[in-house]
Structure 1
Amino acid sequence: MDTRLLVELREYLAVVGHEPGKLRLKVDLGVRNHPAARNLGGAAGDVPGIRGVRLNIFTQSLTIDYDPQVIAPALFDAVFSATDGASLEAAARALHEATIRV
């Protein structure tokens, strides 16, 4: 799963738990109407630093297992706590760059 997808679908995702290496998100059912939603549970092997992605449609949850040595936990925090467009853009860019520097 490309980290840019998380940013694109952020309005449908809410952090329910985050510890270094594991991000747990609640998925709003409204995401089904978004064209990119079909990629939400996509393979993790394509993105350095992402170890696994599990989407459970029954519990409306998405769990992302990642390597905190590659992707700093603060990068995910910044994406989901951004309150304006500029800070979201900066956080999204930093998160994406962390996954392509490996």
Structure 2
Amino acid sequence: MLLTIDIGNTNITLGLWDGHVWQRQWRLSTVHEKTADEYGLLLRGLLAEAGETAVIDHVIFCSVVPVLSQTFIQASQRYLACNPIEAGIHLDLGIQILT
């Protein structure tokens, strides 16, 4: 199962993708001051409620809030045992854009 995280200025949107369909989606308020532990426990709580804690294989996130990028990297490592991928301008997706 893939956990996707979109960290925006106002909201953080999360989704669980099983490879075919979105299983769950959540929207949280963005709080710049929250720690990796606070977000990690929040993530584990949401996943436990969904019954999906043990099946998170991958985490990918994007962020327009630089201060929270490292926070979510740490939360994913500590609480989900995943090294997340940050989707950004430096991520090579192997897609050539022709303009």
Same fold judged by TM-score > 0.5? no
Q: Give the alignment's TM-score, normalised by structure 2.
A: 0.29
Q: Give the alignment's TM-score, normalised by structure 1.
A: 0.28
Larger Rg: 2
Name whichever structure is richer in helix by fraction: 1
